[in-house]
Amino acid sequence: MNRKTLAITISSIAVAALATAFVIIHKPIPKPAPVKGPRIYLNDTLTNAMSEIPELEGLDRKVRAYMRQWQFKGASLAIMRNDSLLYAKGYGWADEGEKVEMEPSHILRMASVSKLITAAGIMVLQDRDSLSIKDTVFGPSGILNDSLFNSVIKDRNHHKITVEHLLRHQGGFYRDPLFSSKDVMHQMQLDCPPSKEDFFRLVLRHDLRFMPGEWQKYSNFGYLLLSEIIEKVSGKPYEQFIREDVLMPAGCLDMHIGGSYYSDRMENEVRYYTHAGDGKFVEEYTGSGIMVERCYGGNNIPLLSGAGAWCGSPAEIARLVASIDGRPEVEDIISQEAVAQMTEYFDKDTFSLGWNDTAPEKGWSRTGTLSGTTALVKYFPDGECWIMITNTSTWRGPGQARYTDALFKECRELYGDRLPKRDLFTSPE
């Protein structure tokens, strides 16, 4: 007899008893973290038509000229001011072969912009007193005091590495091998692509290049360790924790860990293209000997995890930034103290937490470069944030960010006062 029939035929007392029994038999589902942002998929509400504004045709021409100059197939741009989304538009092709035009609803690999997400996750855990960025990572009192790490580490200087050192690329590791899967396979005599545990064993068995905190060397490996720390402390897989405890509370519901191949793409994910100057064809990262397009099979994207695996739209990245910037218009998912720590500026030779740079006179910046994509998040001192992601590589690699930054500054000067006064986060048209 089903519950509906019972509700009709038996007394309320019996119904209550049945409900009690049901609770006893079936464990209640834990409630997700409260969502402080919108509960709708932002990407489902945005179209190019919303940002077809006659007063901003000059801005569109500037963006298209920039794309022609650097041979980008497609690009997506979002502009936020004082935590309000003013403009979101796609340019060129999301998929040139299928003649799919870029829309602001398309998601793209964001490469190292992923590090900003991971850093936000660490700050969420710190706000919960689950860890401190001053905590050591390895050794008897370290967060990662598991047998894997204890058995492989020989240089005890590793025990001085803190969470903050990893966030600032100051761990001192001798190598950053996440984009060298084939070489690692040969070096470690593996018959399959290296796992994250293989990378841990490879890197941590060597002496440090420099004492933690005394210098800095950009390290994707350090952010892989931060992803592992998040898993250890939260008790959840990295992606699950980030989605449930960082992105959903921020109102970002359409961000995902990307795949390595074209067949892995999400329904609304773009097609990626490799610039000729970036070396279009390479051997597959699996060591198969098969030549593949660098952006599809050249790297193990999911393994990059918190260092560079996330996909999303510029509009949703803007929503995340609005949730970690300390402004009052959108409720932050981290404390004011955490915002201050993430954006504290020391000097030009010291990375900020998650951000590349937070110089007060220049604003905050976060870059991302991966085969098939370039990204820049630029938060200006006046509270305006511009975000652009392309679906095409550039031969300039990380250096492309300075040209995108120059584009942003020029467009702000020429068209900033013509941007509409609205908020597409809360009032999609």
- Supply the range of the domain harboring residue 399: 42-112+249-418
Copy the structure tokens of residue 296.
């599809």
Distance CA(179)–CA(227), nearest Å, equals 17
| Residues 258 and 317 grouped into a single domain | yes
Distance CA(234)–CA(143), nearest Å, equals 12
Residue 332 is which amino acid? D
| Residues 87 and 226 grouped into a single domain | no
| Residues 284 and 414 grouped into a single domain | yes
Residue 47 lies in a domain: yes
What is the chain's alpha carbon radius of gyration, rounded to the nearest angstrom?
23
Mean pLDDT confidence for 333-340: 98
Q: For 115-156, how does the pLDDT look when each residue is reduced to its tens digit (9 = 90+)? A: 999 999 999 999 999 999 999 999 999 999 999 999 999 999
Burial 71-91 (b: 16+ CB within 10 A, else e): ebbbbbbbbbbbbbbbbbbbb
HSE at residue 324, side-chain half, CA atoms within 13 A, is: 31
193 pLDDT more than 50: yes
SS3 at position 303: helix
23 pLDDT more than 80: no
Structure confidence at residue 317 (pLDDT): 98
Please state the pTM of the whole predicted model. Answer: 0.90
185 pLDDT more than 60: yes
Residue 244 lies in a domain: no
| Residues 319 and 397 grouped into a single domain | yes
Window from 46-60, 317-331, 393-407 with minimum mean pLDDT = 393-407
| Residues 276 and 228 grouped into a single domain | no
The CATH number linked to 366 is 3.40.710.10
Distance CA(414)–CA(168), nearest Å, equals 35
Residue 185 lies in a domain: yes
Distance CA(239)–CA(118), nearest Å, equals 10
Residue 210 lies in a domain: yes
Stronger pLDDT, 64 or 28, i.e. the higher one:
64
Q: Are 170 and 212 in contact (CB under 8 A)?
A: yes
Residue 92 lies in a domain: yes
Structure confidence at residue 397 (pLDDT): 85
| Residues 215 and 262 grouped into a single domain | no
Residue 388 lies in a domain: yes
6 pLDDT more than 60: no
Distance CA(310)–CA(319), nearest Å, equals 15
Instruction: Calculate what percentage of the chain has a pLDDT beyond 90.
Output: 86
The total number of structural domains that make up the chain: 3
